[in-house]
Structure 1
Amino acid sequence: MLELRRLTKSYANGRRVLTDLSYTLNAGEYVAIMGDSGVGKSTLLNLIAGLDAPDAGDILIDGTPLSALDDDATTTLRREKFGFIFQAFHVLPHLTLIQNVALPLLLNGDTTQRAQDMLIAVGLDGRGSDFPRQLSGGELQRVAIARALVHRPRLLLADEPTGNLDPDTAHEVLMLLRRELKDNGASGIIVTHSPAAAETADRVLLLTRDGLQPK
């Protein structure tokens, strides 16, 4: 499903964070990536998502290199096949919660009831007409999670998805993530500092200066 071929990436200040990193994520596989702060975990997610470009190497989705796609094709790929959960939420303030969650469906021409179902699944039943300014940080995170899963993506990329949630809610959300991935035969990568979150994945990997290694 996803293949990383000898990825190398440096920050603007010249500090290299990834060097000749290679890895293959199979269809239906769910992995957790752990590692020290600053080692490049979020950078790696941004590269896989096509939001940034590697200095060298390539990323293949279903055998197609991202580098071979133009901007429009990359945008279409992200919209149709990817789901994202980022630390900054990226919830749109001028849209209601139901509109935020339904956005991937609308962009893909789907107008099903699933947006409401996902709000219920993350514990926000009856809040669809609220706006983001009315929510706590943990509630915003749950909206972001519902939006990432609503269109049943082939690949979920999650950066500290439970960082703003209390332990009980975090556990419920992690079980939801895993269940959605398994029910839909999708693949997932979760970046986390939480051992409890990592344990919900099929496999835990450690990102170091030497690449990705089994933890």
Structure 2
Amino acid sequence: MRKTYGHGRVVLAHLDFTLAAGEYVAIMGDSGVGKSTLLNLIAGLDSANGGAILIDGVNIANLDDDGATRLRRQKLGFIFQAFHILPHLTLQQNVALPLLLNQAPPERALELLAAVGLDGRGNDFPRQLSGGELQRVAIARALAHRPTLILADEPTGNLDPDTAHEVLALLRQEIKANGASAIMVTHSAAAAASADRILIMSADGLRPLPDKATLPLLQ
């Protein structure tokens, strides 16, 4: 897979990897190397200049706008670094949104709010929350409809260590319980250590990190 911008500026190149069903992978690398761009490409929010991205055997480049929207709505859960919580909806309504879009019962929204430490806050609005609390809402929303693939962009970047540990445990639990797959990009060695395997991104592509004991060197 390859991605370029502007006058041929190469952002991603030489990327070739397979994510197995139920596998949880962390991707680490220097700032600006293209980790967030990779997630946007996988989600169909951006287009690659070469290669193919297949989700459940479907090449997302072959989907029209409606098809891409259906795929994201039904199969993907995206945890954005900038949250993207809708300010005019309550916390419960924000988390329930993917459930309603998939015509699923909305009750799971309150269960997930409780699971991320926001029990009893369902009727609050985003303006009443701290940055860390907004991140927890974003994580609950991404998990709500039990997606096939979870894409997480620095999911613990705004969380204190204890909350980060709880959220990572919930993320892993949901992945394994639902047979989902997940790709998390992160600068946090502690977050990366929760994954099944770790890949290091550089200008030369992706390489595996064979030994998690070397993680502190990457912080």
Structure-2-length-normalised TM-score: 0.94
Q: CA deviation at 1:13?
A: 5.3
Q: What does residue 4 of structure 1 align with?
A: none
Computed over aligned residues only, the root mean square deviation of the Cα atoms, in angstroms, reads 0.8
Q: What does residue 86 of structure 1 align with?
A: 80
Q: CA deviation at 1:17?
A: 1.4
Q: What does residue 117 of structure 1 align with?
A: 111
Aligned length: 209
Q: CA deviation at 1:198?
A: 0.2
Q: CA deviation at 1:210?
A: 1.1
Looking at secondary structure, tell me which structure has more strand per residue: 1
Task: Give secondary structure in 1 for the equivalent of 2:207.
Answer: strand
1:15-164 correspondence to structure 2 within 5 Å: 15-164=9-158
Q: Extract structure 1 runs of 4+ deviating beyond 6 A.
A: none
How far does the alpha carbon of each residue in 1:75-123 deviate from its partner, in whole angstroms, 9 at most, with x for none? 0000000000011000000000000000000000012411110000000
How far does the alpha carbon of each residue in 1:149-207 deviate from its partner, in whole angstroms, 9 at most, with x for none? 01100000000000000000000000000000000010000000000000000000000
Task: Give secondary structure in 2 for the equivalent of 1:173.
Answer: helix
In the alignment, structure 1 residue 214 sits paired with structure 2 residue 187: no
Distance 1:11 1:190 in 2: 23
Q: Which runs of 5+ in 2 are unaligned?
A: 210-219
Distance 1:101 1:160 in 2: 19
Task: Give secondary structure in 2 for the equivalent of 1:57.
Answer: coil
Q: Give the letter for the 2:135 counterpart.
A: Q
In the alignment, structure 1 residue 168 sits paired with structure 2 residue 162: yes
Q: CA deviation at 1:67?
A: 1.2
Q: Is the 8 Å Cα contact of residues 20 and 57 (structure 1) preserved in structure 2? A: no
Identity of aligned residues (%): 73
Q: Give the letter for the 1:120 counterpart.
A: A
Q: What does residue 194 of structure 1 align with?
A: 188
Structure-1-length-normalised TM-score: 0.95
